[in-house]
A and B are shown apart, each in its own frame.
Chain A
């Protein structure tokens, strides 16, 4: 008659009793642990002293004024993409199509620059790009959104496919526009006339991106946190049924939010083509549509915190790139280190959200005092 009942030694309980300070501390601790692991791995592969590793990373990111500017510029582009994805994520719409939305935005800009070089003054071309790029990005966001709203199509997979359609579209136009014919690339667009190149702001070619990212950050903070639209996005994200019950048109919110999300991605693409690279390739987004997802998630979708998480990624990326160059290693070294840090940050969320509780003994046969 004896049935063995195995009782687990411990079980998990959800917690929300951690103070803001403790949450930050846990995250910082996980980053420190990840950095220690990264340094150890670097020391093993390159044979340099782990402390020097950090020195190299810092000098890679901030070694010279130019390096610092480029770090800031990379930071602002990644930040902009992460910000662009944020409204969609807040309503739990997993838009991993940032890559594609950035690409079509860039493509639209390149199209304006190439097609109107001789015909229109530079200022008009810039104006056209500023209109066309967000429209293209918004269109790329609209297609999955309308399918999600109408037929509840899985948005993760759909936006993923849209990325590759955008990539092929770009390579199609690259071959049409390629200079010289048969080279398979475009090269610097309008190298002599500079038609359609985005203007310098405050006498620096890096400032435009930084400014746009900052403006977007402040805008989104108020849009999501303090506007009617933002409130609707939050309610849809918490519970679609609740949203429907209180009379929010969920489909409309999804479409409207994705239009915004896509348009902002399109602007990032416009900056990449019009202000930074002055050319277009299929890899111009460089996986930042995906990294942006991680950046936004790490910051818990708070626009201001996103500066920090984007900074962490860019800093490691540039630093690891420096180490890789110094030791003749492959540039993908940065991806490995970024991956390790991400795993630690992803893992540490557990300790913020859950508590491990030792199981209490239900009966005590010996009757001893306990």
Chain B
């Protein structure tokens, strides 16, 4: 029981960045845009928040920090960074009709490079006399939990021990699921993703829907990066620490068969699989087995991908125009 109690919060902590990335990518893919730039966007979201809070912390000093600003500045910077990435992707693929796979991969190259470059060079570029980027003060605001979390025993530990971004992630997944399933906007968005020609004929502004959903998706995904660095990593940036979580988020989209509400549980499951190797006793003699356990999330995704394509159920399929650009005069 004790192991379980410590396992779940850590699985959730690992799962939340995936949840943000997955929710964002679902919104994007529903419009027919396969954004393989999500890993890059999440790096940019993370580093933008770090840059914002780094300058704020060093400007006002540790004591002069205002809790509201300490949260809002990184949050705003992060959203701005991923907004710009989303805008770039939309401009290239929707307006200029560039190949989506290529644009996405270029965005990932750029975004990961951007994150690691500023993560590694921020101190030198800003000429500030600090040893490392450790935003522990800001992080304390981000990971602050409700005061009752400690007093409610196992319940508090399982459900209340997370920073506000974690709850924001769950809420955003629920909101996205609701919008996609129940509202007219969601219906239009799905129509755009399934068949832009039909949607266009029905008077839906395809370009607008693609732009808005891709940018919104990127902004949601960027928050995943922010959560990771500010809450999970306690405000300490280290290069490449975010790793391949962005790709895992894209895998999660397939795993959840494009349903944002399933994403909540699935991301916790993936988060759990991601750290499962820490909890499986292997003994010192067989450390190599841990590496095989780390393979599990990818193998599971692969199997789900194959099974959904084998069963070929119509409601489990990707949006029909996924990866294809819409040009009205094409036939």
Give the B-binding residues of A (Cβ under 8 A): 12-14, 45, 94, 96, 147, 151-154, 156-158, 160-165, 168-169, 171-176, 287, 290-291, 293-294, 297, 328-336, 338-340, 342-343, 346-347, 349-350, 353-354
Listed from nearest, the 6 A-B pairs whose CB atoms lie closest are A335-B113, A339-B110, A330-B120, A332-B116, A175-B288, A350-B96
Given A158-B302, A164-B298; A346-B291 close (CB under 8 Å): no
Secondary structure of the B side of the interface? helix
* Complex A-B: 15 CB contacts under 8 Å: A96-B101, A164-B244, A165-B302, A168-B295, A175-B287, A329-B121, A330-B121, A332-B117, A335-B110, A335-B113, A335-B114, A336-B110, A343-B110, A350-B97, A353-B97
Q: Which residues of A contact B327 (CB under 8 A)?
A: 12, 14
A328 to chain B: closest CB distance in Å?
6
Our pick among B106, B108, B292 for the contact of A343 (Cβ within 8 Å) is: B106
Q: How would residues 73 to 102 of chain B score, 1 for a CB under 8 Å from any chain A CB and 0 otherwise?
A: 000000000000000100010011111011
Check A165–B295 contact: CB distance below 8 A: yes
B240 to chain A: closest CB distance in Å?
9
Q: Which residues of B contact A335 (CB under 8 A)?
A: 109-110, 112-114, 116-117
Check A160–B251 contact: CB distance below 8 A: yes
Cα A133 to Cα B22 in complex, Å, equals 35
Q: Which residues of A contact B323 (CB under 8 A)?
A: 94, 156
Q: Which residues of B contact A333 (CB under 8 A)?
A: 113, 117, 121
Our pick among B103, B125, B299, B306 for the contact of A346 (Cβ within 8 Å) is: B103
A258 to chain B: closest CB distance in Å?
16
Cα A154 to Cα B309 in complex, Å, equals 8
Cα A340 to Cα B88 in complex, Å, equals 11
**Known contacts A294-B105, A342-B109, A349-B98, then 12 further A-B pairs from the complex at CB < 8 Å, ordered by chain A residue:** A153-B309, A154-B254, A157-B251, A172-B288, A172-B291, A173-B288, A293-B101, A329-B120, A335-B114, A335-B116, A336-B117, A339-B111
Cα A160 to Cα B255 in complex, Å, equals 14
Contact residue range for chain B? 35 or more
Q: How would residues 265 to 300 of chain B score, 1 for a CB under 8 Å from any chain A CB and 0 otherwise?
A: 000000000000000000000011111101100110
* Chain B residue nearest in CB terms to A297: B102
Cα A147 to Cα B298 in complex, Å, equals 16
Check B98–A346 contact: CB distance below 8 A: yes
Q: Which residues of B contact A164 (CB under 8 A)?
A: 244, 247, 295, 298
Give the A-binding residues of B (Cβ under 8 A): 34, 36, 88, 92, 95-99, 101-103, 105-117, 119-121, 124-125, 239, 244, 247, 250-251, 254, 287-292, 294-295, 298-299, 301-302, 305-306, 309-310, 312, 318, 323, 327, 329-330
Check B292–A168 contact: CB distance below 8 A: yes
Cα A174 to Cα B291 in complex, Å, equals 10
Cα A185 to Cα B288 in complex, Å, equals 12
Q: Which residues of A contact B309 (CB under 8 A)?
A: 147, 151-154
B260 to chain A: closest CB distance in Å?
18
A41 to chain B: closest CB distance in Å?
11
Interface centre among A158, A160, A342, by most chain B C-beta atoms within 10 angstroms, is: A160
Q: Which residues of B contact A331 (CB under 8 A)?
A: 120
Cα A31 to Cα B43 in complex, Å, equals 26
Q: Which residues of B contact A158 (CB under 8 A)?
A: 302, 305-306
* Chain A residue nearest in CB terms to B110: A339
Check A290–B108 contact: CB distance below 8 A: yes
Given A151-B312, A157-B250, A349-B96; A330-B299 close (CB under 8 Å): no
Q: Which residues of B contact A160 (CB under 8 A)?
A: 247, 250-251
B305 to chain A: closest CB distance in Å?
6
Q: Which residues of B contact A171 (CB under 8 A)?
A: 291, 294
Cα A266 to Cα B183 in complex, Å, equals 49
Q: Which residues of A contact B125 (CB under 8 A)?
A: 45
B147 to chain A: closest CB distance in Å?
40
Check A156–B101 contact: CB distance below 8 A: yes
B212 to chain A: closest CB distance in Å?
19
Given A164-B247, A165-B295, A175-B287; A332-B110 close (CB under 8 Å): no
Given A157-B305, A158-B305, A165-B299; A347-B117 close (CB under 8 Å): no
Cα A154 to Cα B255 in complex, Å, equals 13
Cα A332 to Cα B247 in complex, Å, equals 19
A147 to chain B: closest CB distance in Å?
6
Check A297–B99 contact: CB distance below 8 A: yes
Q: Which residues of A contact B305 (CB under 8 A)?
A: 153-154, 157-158, 161
B199 to chain A: closest CB distance in Å?
18
Check B119–A330 contact: CB distance below 8 A: yes
Check A165–B291 contact: CB distance below 8 A: no
Q: Which residues of A contact B34 (CB under 8 A)?
A: 156
A90 to chain B: closest CB distance in Å?
14
* Chain A residue nearest in CB terms to B124: A328
Q: Which residues of A contact B88 (CB under 8 A)?
A: 343
Check A354–B103 contact: CB distance below 8 A: no
